[in-house]
Structure 1
Amino acid sequence: MVIPALEESFEAAVRGVDEWTTYVAVAGGRIVGSTRGRPAGDGTVWDVGRVMVAPDLQGRGLGRHLLALVEDAAPDEVTSYELRTGALSVDNIRMYKKAGYRLQGPAPGPPGAVVMTKPRR
């Protein structure tokens, strides 16, 4: 099953570099994580996307660090953060909940993803 929130074409990823504030974590010349964010809607919501960590480095806090980094990049007018993740991505949902996000329900569009939000403090 293709879940749009979890998959992206190469072309879309390249376009995203211009459309998103993007961070990449590099260790030993290897890309080991990344994340991105951009204003959504009326500009008061910061859309967080593609929080990724290399499988062999997961569970060490890198994802949480990347998440905080992209949240800090949000413009002053942002009042909340929003992201989408797989409905069955238990570890991701747990990490986002620990970071203050709350499950809002299914994401619009094809089934398989959920929306999570967090107010900006």
Structure 2
Amino acid sequence: MRIPALHETYDDLRAWLARDTVLVARTAGRLVGAVRASLDGDEWEIGRLMVAPDLAGRGLGRTLLERIEALVPSTATTYALFTGAGSLRNQRIYKKAGYRLQPGEPFPGAVRMTKRIGPR
């Protein structure tokens, strides 16, 4: 299976850092979490939400998700993200945050989840 995050080059990383909204979480200088998002049409595409494995389950991922959602441009109508088809824990977390699975497989081994943006 080809997972894009595992094959990004340094130049790919630099490009999305320049283009996207990026949030990071640090503790004592250590990078412990991050998330990015960008506007694609009317969708606020959220990606690369990550938390250090030893800190999983403490709410950091939920906080990063809430904060990147709060930065949504006014023209967006939908939050969207991808996660692994076998990542049932991630899917449960996103469902609890209001995301719903969309039909189809956007690319092998992945699912797409979306959430409508309510009135602001």
Cα RMSD over matched residues? Answer: 1.2
Please report how far the alpha carbon of residue 93 of structure 1 lies from its aligned counterpart in structure 2 after TM superposition. Answer: 0.6
Of 81, 84, 99, which aligns to 1:83? 81
Q: What letter matches 1:92 in structure 2?
A: N
Residue 7 of structure 1: aligned partner: 6
TM norm structure 1: 0.90
Gaps of 5+ in 1: none
Contact 1:3 1:86 in 2 (8 A): no
Residue 26 of structure 2: aligned partner: 26
TM norm structure 2: 0.91
Residue 110 of structure 2: aligned partner: 113
Of 53, 56, 59, which aligns to 2:54? 56
Q: Percent identity?
A: 48
Residue deviations 1:29-59 (CA, integer Å, cap 9, x gap): 100000011101x2x1100001000000000
Q: What letter matches 2:17 in structure 1?
A: V
Question: Larger relative CO (CA 8 A, sep 6+): 1 or 2?
Answer: 1
Please report how far the alpha carbon of residue 91 of structure 1 lies from its aligned counterpart in structure 2 after TM superposition. Answer: 1.2
Q: What letter matches 2:6 in structure 1?
A: E
In structure 2, the CA distance between the partners of 1:105 and 1:38, relative to structure 1 (3 Å rule), is same
SS at match of 2:37: strand
Please report how far the alpha carbon of residue 99 of structure 1 lies from its aligned counterpart in structure 2 after TM superposition. Answer: 0.5
Cα distance in 2 for residues equivalent to 1:98 and 1:31: 26
